[in-house]
Homo-oligomer: A and B are copies of this chain.
Amino acid sequence: MSAPERVRVAIVGATGYTGAELLRLLLGHPRVEITALCARDKLTPRASSVLPSLAGVCELPIEPFDADAVARKADVAFCALPHGASIECVRALRERGLTVLDLSADFRLRDPAVYAQWYGAAHAAPSLLESAVYGLPELYRDTLRGAKLVAVPGCYPTASSLPMLPLLARGLVRSDDLVVHALSGVSGAGRTPAASTHFPESSEGVRSYKVAGTHRHTPEIEQTLSSVAGSPVTVTFTPTLTPMTRGILSTVYARPARDGLQVEALIEAARAYFAGSPSVAVLDAGTLPDTLWVRGSNRAHVAYFIDRRAHRVVARARSTTS
Report which A residues bind B (CB closer than 8 A): 1, 17, 28, 30, 48-49, 52-53, 55-57, 177, 179, 181, 183, 185-187, 191, 193-195, 197-209, 211-213, 218, 234-236, 238, 240, 242-247, 249, 251, 253, 278-281, 283-284, 287-297, 299, 301, 305-310, 312, 314, 316
Contact = CB atoms under 8 A, between A and B. Distances in A.
The 6 closest A-B pairs by CB, nearest first: A205-B292, A55-B281, A212-B307, A193-B193, A207-B290, A212-B305
Given A52-B287, A236-B253, A206 B244 contact: yes
Give the number of times this chain occurs in the complex, counting copies: 4
A198 B181 CA distance: 25
A194 to B, nearest CB: 6
Contacts of A57: 299
A301 to B, nearest CB: 7
Given A197-B198, A198-B199, A244 B204 contact: yes
Contacts of A49: 284
B244 A243 contact: yes
Among A204, A238, A247, A306, chain B packs the most CB atoms within 10 A around the CB of A204
